[in-house]
Amino acid sequence: QQPVQSPQAVILREGEDAVINCSSSKALYSVHWYRQKHGEAPVFLMILLKGGEQKGHDKISASFNEKKQQSSLYLTASQLSYSGTYFCGTESGYGNKLVFGAGTILRVKS
């Protein structure tokens, strides 16, 4: 079952913050976050495991609420380079296939 991402699209000005949500109707083992720029390959951002802590690097971080089967990606002080489509991929068990959400288009304007 495909996870649901929200919002579908968001436009920000440089320096603003954004939150992208990913929710599933199934119990989750892990959530993977990727960013894809137009015509390019998805680039890995981070993985959150069941029972794990909130992760982050630089100004991008994420959380995983196992009880609600939800993950959120937080982008703070956005930069132009953050523009792209963000996908969450969910795994219901270790070694199971990764199912991706439909993506959230993020556009950062100067």
Which residues contact another protein by CB under 8 A? 2, 29-30, 32, 34, 40-44, 47, 49, 87, 89, 91, 94-103
Q: Please identify, using beta-carbon distances, which residue of 63 and 76 lies nearer to another protein.
A: 63
Q: Radius of gyration over alpha carbons of the chain, in Å?
A: 13
In what helix (H) or strand (E) does residue 11 lie, and over which residues does it extend?
Answer: strand 9-13
Q: How far is the CB of 88 from another protein (least distance, A)?
A: 11
Q: How far is the CB of 40 from another protein (least distance, A)?
A: 7
Phi, psi (rounded to 5 degrees) for 98? -90, 125
Q: Please identify, using beta-carbon distances, which residue of 29 and 74 lies nearer to another protein.
A: 29
Cα separation, 9 vs 20, whole angstroms: 9
The distance in angstroms from the start CA to the end CA of the chain is 37
Q: Please identify, using beta-carbon distances, which residue of 25 and 96 lies nearer to another protein.
A: 96
